[in-house]
Chain A
Amino acid sequence: MEIKIMKNILDRNQNKADEVRKLLELKKVLMVNVISSPGAGKTTLLERTCEELGEKFRLGIVEGDITTDRDAQRLKKYNIPIVVINTEGGCHLDSHSISKVLGYFDLDKLDVLFVENVGNLICPSQFDLGETFKLALVSTTEGDDKPDKYPMLFREAKAVLLNKIDLVPYTNFNYNNFRSDLKKINANIPLFEVSCTRGDGLKEWFDWITEKINNFQ
């Protein structure tokens, strides 16, 4: 006997994500789901972003970390609410864990919530957290083939940051390949080419995210 089911296997995650999204819309909190490989520079980007926008907006951070709270320790100095989710080996965050930690924030006193997802380019793209949008971060030292290898993330993301452009002279990273592959996958996606340590290109990112936060209010 065959029993038809025809439903999304991740239904449970999706339903919770829809709930989170509704709540955050009501509370006017923009949520950014930051996705990258390990070491691409997510925490460093958040450090720079806290320094630049910490006075202008009420920021909050969720740190997805496999076992430690080291990234949260780095961000403590900015005096903004941070909650760590340890995934205990899990390769991505899900909407249930996000929904749980939202209880630790005063959502009425928040303009934007950055979520540093667990370092990985495939898994986090499948799990909707209820974010306003995903941000894809890649670094030049990973090579220029990431968009072509992981098209889902670059289709789904609202913007791409290419980090560590200061290191391009030491790699075989080819800007033209990277830009044309990305354009092929997602023609109109904004691309910010930055160095989170040296500061190059960050102004464009700050301007863009400022506009997104303002529009969400």
Chain B
Amino acid sequence: MHEIKIAEDLSAIVLETAKRESLSKVTRVNIIFGQLVQIVPEIFEYAFRETVRDTIANDADVFIEIVPVKMKCIKCGNDFLVKENRFKCNVCFSTDLDIISGKELFIKSIEGE
């Protein structure tokens, strides 16, 4: 249900940006979610619709890109996709890792006129 709060914060950013750029209409919102954040796109989209009802973003399409969980091995530098929750380098088997992607809750851009 965290979809609701995230949708509220998103709509605030969308409307602020649209205002600053003097848009009269927002036609599309482009979002990136990491797989780890477990957002359900349908619920998110529904929640977003509710928060922008009767605003200039009322009819905006929501485009959600889900990015996979990707890590970098600190020991050997190998980049790899995490499959089945295995957070372990597939080259040297180290578990000392930095995250490259998978935790995003990003707004990429908006489109409008």
Contact = CB atoms under 8 A, between A and B. Distances in A.
A187 B88 CA distance: 8
A135 B25 CA distance: 44
A80 B37 CA distance: 35
The winner among A10, A13, A186 for most chain B CB atoms within 10 A is A10
A184 interface: yes
B112 interface: yes
Secondary structure class of chain B's binding surface, majority of residues? mixed
A126 B88 contact: no
B2 A91 contact: yes
Interface in A155-173: 155
Given A3-B17, A5-B17, A10 B9 contact: yes
Interface size class of B (residues with CB under 8 A): 20 to 34
B87 A155 contact: yes
Contacts of B107: 5-7, 9
Interface string A1-35: 11111111111110000000000000000000000
A90 B111 contact: no
A8 B87 contact: no
B2 A6 contact: no
A61 B63 CA distance: 41
A151 interface: yes
A1 B17 CA distance: 13
Contact of B10 (A9, A148, A155): A9
A185 interface: yes
Interface in B1-20: 1-2, 5-6, 9-10, 13, 17
B110 A2 contact: yes
B108 A3 contact: no
B1 A7 contact: no
A123 interface: yes
B106 interface: yes
Given A13-B9, A126-B2, A148-B85, A3 B38 contact: no
Give me the 6 closest cross-chain CB pairs, A-B, nearest first. Answer: A123-B2, A187-B95, A91-B1, A152-B36, A9-B105, A4-B109
26 contacts: A2-B110, A3-B110, A5-B13, A5-B108, A6-B107, A6-B109, A7-B13, A7-B107, A8-B106, A9-B10, A9-B13, A9-B106, A9-B107, A11-B13, A91-B1, A94-B5, A123-B2, A126-B2, A126-B105, A150-B38, A151-B85, A152-B36, A152-B38, A155-B36, A184-B88, A187-B87
Given A9-B105, A155-B87, 8 more contacts: A2-B109, A2-B110, A3-B109, A4-B108, A5-B17, A9-B9, A126-B2, A155-B36
